[in-house]
Chains A and B, each alone.
Chain A
Amino acid sequence: MLSHSDILQTVDMIDHQHLDIRTITMGMSLRDCAHQDIAECARRVYDKICRNAEHLVETGCAIEAEYGIPIVNKRISVTPVAIVAESSDSEDYSPVAVAMDRAAKNCGVNFIGGFSALVHKGFTTGDRRLINSIPSALAATEMVCSSVNVASTKTGINMDAVYEMGRIVKRTAELTADSGGLGCAKLVVFANAVEDNPFMAGAFHGVGEPECVINVGVSGPGVVYHTLQGVKGQPFDVVAESIKKTAFRITRMGQLVAQEASKRLGVPFGVVDLSLAPTPAMGDSVARVLEEMGLEVCGTHGTTAALALLNDAVKKGGLMASGHVGGLSGAFIPVSEDEGMIAAASGGTLTLDKLEAMTCVCSVGLDMIAVPGDTTAETIAAIIADESAIGVVNNKTTAVRIIPAPGKSVGDQVEFGGLLGSAPVMPVHPESAETFIRRGGRIPAPLQSLRI
């Protein structure tokens, strides 16, 4: 029989350390839903999502009950809608978003991702129409998430798209002003976007993916925090080893749930995403993990090194535990969704510039950051450009999910509620980058050899 103490350790992780499966995400292709008439396209999208995901939530709940492990979110990701809707002659793709929203509600999931376009080298007609539809689509729906990939290591940075996304973020904030610019919390601008990410708001079902697939995102900042409390004062070798062991256990559980969900739904298993995803709940914070390593407040000097160690150890520990690892895999640092980050940002220690440095070593990027409502589209575009450059040069995924909170200024707090949490409005540099951003064109792909 299993050891008594191992069993009790798992139960303790679930009861007191927020161990859970963060998401089971069903990815599905909508490429066969294209139609010249956008209304017909939307109808096909609705029917296909409802058909494929009919049993997703009940299966997730059944697994949750049998294994006694909470599965916090059940979600859906779809083919980038720019590809699906491109055959239609409509200028406005928001009817497809509305159909996705209705389908998500019908299936009982809490987010659906894929109102997306991939424009890292340039725009097609459909890409342009989709991007222009984002503000109204996000204002008209509750559960739809949108993402746009504007850069990649192989192609460089599409600066026209970067500028366009600066304007789209602003417009989305304006159209959802009555909820604090909530639309922007569901809009991600990527560099090197991945095709199998199960986490929102950046999930979409890439063109190289199969017809339908199950991807699982594990979590567990609380478990890592608890582990580190057991190695106080010990050298970093011990810290890294402890995190690896914990990540291994968490991922094994994720792998088991992923395989079980895949078997019951009759849908192939895709990947386990090894991310440490925080929530606003006490004891479920990545910032507190970094502080437990010996930092007084997250954001002070040493934070980037601490995050680099954490991110790497999570990946190393998790890799051996899963047959297929993918998605974003690492540590997320969303400000509004992490109790410790909120505290560090509110206190002024965690700044936008430090967060940018942290994104060089974490798994994604500037995430869930509220900035003053009067921040210009050009400044937002410049932030996106900086973040894209980090991703493109370092061969990693980076992203920007930024909320220019309408009517708010530095020191105010924006409440999004639920998993999206609340964000302190952080200052941006007042000096303009407008002339830089207005140049447009493309920043060429970086050299891949002769690296120093």
Chain B
Amino acid sequence: MRAIVTVIGVDQVGIIAKVCGLLASMNINILDINQTVMQELFTMTMLVDTSACTTTYEDVNAALTAKGQEMGMSIRMQREDIFKAMHQI
């Protein structure tokens, strides 16, 4: 199943490394990454494959939220379908 991970917050060293490390630890495969920094606001969207993921959605999101709080950022994972529904006909 494909999902989108979004990371939003103040730019800092090691964001990608920390998020990717956490995703790898739950066996979530990254398919694509898009990232920009505008006026110190870091935004990243990642397309990931969760089919081999070892934990539930709730646990993944709990881990991402905890990591986000530690870094002072907002991090979450949502199923890709919702974005497709809203932005593609």
Which residues of A pack against B, CB within 8 Å?
1-4, 6-11, 15, 62, 65-69, 249, 252-253, 255-256
Contact = CB atoms under 8 A, between A and B. Distances in A.
A113 to B, nearest CB: 28
A4 B36 contact: yes
Contact of A252 (B34, B76, B78, B86): B86
A11 B46 CA distance: 13
B18 to A, nearest CB: 19
11 contacts: A2-B4, A2-B84, A4-B34, A8-B8, A8-B45, A9-B87, A10-B82, A66-B78, A253-B82, A253-B86, A255-B85
Contact of A2 (B8, B57, B61, B88): B88
A3 B34 CA distance: 9
Contacts of A3: 87
B83 A6 contact: yes
A66 B76 CA distance: 10
Given A1-B34, A65-B58, A249-B87, A256 B82 contact: yes
Q: Tell which of B31, B43, B85, B88 has the most Cβ of chain A within 10 Å.
A: B85
A112 B57 CA distance: 30
B81 A256 contact: yes
B72 to A, nearest CB: 15
Contacts of B87: 2-3, 6, 9-10, 249
A294 B4 CA distance: 38
Contacts of B32: 1
B85 A253 contact: yes
B86 A68 contact: no
B67 interface: no
A252 B85 contact: yes
A250 to B, nearest CB: 8
A8 B36 CA distance: 11
Interface of B: 4, 6, 8, 31-32, 34, 36, 43, 45, 47, 57-58, 61, 74, 76-88
B43 A8 contact: yes
A224 to B, nearest CB: 15
A429 B76 CA distance: 54
Contacts of B34: 1, 4
B79 A67 contact: yes
Contacts of A69: 78, 82
Nearest to B44: A4
Contacts of B79: 66-68
Given A252-B85, A256-B81, A4 B43 contact: yes
A7 B33 CA distance: 12
B81 A67 contact: yes
A14 B86 CA distance: 13
Contact of B47 (A1, A6, A10, A11): A1
Nearest to B80: A2
Nearest to A69: B82
Nearest to B78: A68
Contacts of B43: 4, 8
Given A252-B85, A252-B86, A256-B81, A65 B45 contact: no
Contacts of A11: 6, 8, 76
Contacts of A249: 86-87
Contact of A68 (B45, B82, B88): B82
Contact of B86 (A10, A15, A66): A10
A65 to B, nearest CB: 5
Contacts of B78: 66-69
B19 to A, nearest CB: 15
A7 B6 contact: yes
A249 B43 CA distance: 22
A68 to B, nearest CB: 4
Nearest to B1: A66
Contacts of B6: 7-8, 11
B22 to A, nearest CB: 17
B57 A65 contact: yes
B74 A15 contact: yes
B58 to A, nearest CB: 5
A252 B4 CA distance: 18
Nearest to B3: A66
Q: Tell which of B61, B80, B82, B88 has the most Cβ of chain A within 10 Å.
A: B82
